[in-house]
């Protein structure tokens, strides 16, 4: 195995791109390449890649994938400069848990994205 890139199903790709751009991600690819009716997008920040696909584009191919916002998972994203990043975004997003030091030594905070997915950001501060 070489990598893992989640493909998250969402109802509005354009709003999702706006939200993740606010977090510093950049749009790397989309289908179609241009235009307002995107059905898939790949966003990248550093070595983190997340793909987003519209529920509509899924059709009936995989009925096992639930057609609701959010999920029973949490995205754990490690980064450097967590305190600066938190200050940059805290007033622009829904913060679920503020900055805190965990029992295992990481500094973390959690937010809710525009599709009800939970993102936890963490840094192993010295």
User: Burial, 73: exposed, middle or buried (Cβ in 10 Å; 0-12, 13-18, 19+)?
Assistant: exposed
Q: Provide CB contacts within 8 A for 2, sequence distance 6+.
A: none
50 pLDDT tier (thresholds 50, 70, 90): very high
CA distance 103 to 67: 36
pLDDT at position 46, please? 95
CA distance 125 to 1: 29
For the question of whether the overall pTM of this predicted structure is more than 0.85, the answer is: yes
Say whether pLDDT at 73 is over 90: no
Bond before 23 cis per omega within 30 degrees:
no
Summarize the confidence of residues 57-73 as an average pLDDT.
80
């Amino acid at each position: 195995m070489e990598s893992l890139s989640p493909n998250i199903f969402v109802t509005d790709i354009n709003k999702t791109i706006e939200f993740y751009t606010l977090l510093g991600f950049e749009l790397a690819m989309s289908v179609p390449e241009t235009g307002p009716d995107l059905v898939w997008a790949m966003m990248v920040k550093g070595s983190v890649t997340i793909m987003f696909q519209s529920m509509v584009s899924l059709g009936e191919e995989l009925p096992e994938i639930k057609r609701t916002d959010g999920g029973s998972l949490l995205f754990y994203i490690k980064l450097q400069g967590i305190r600066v990043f938190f200050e940059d975004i805290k007033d622009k997003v829904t913060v679920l848990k503020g900055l805190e030091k965990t029992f295992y030594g990481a500094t973390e905070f959690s937010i809710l994205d525009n599709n009800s997915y939970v993102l936890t950001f963490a840094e192993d501060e010295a």
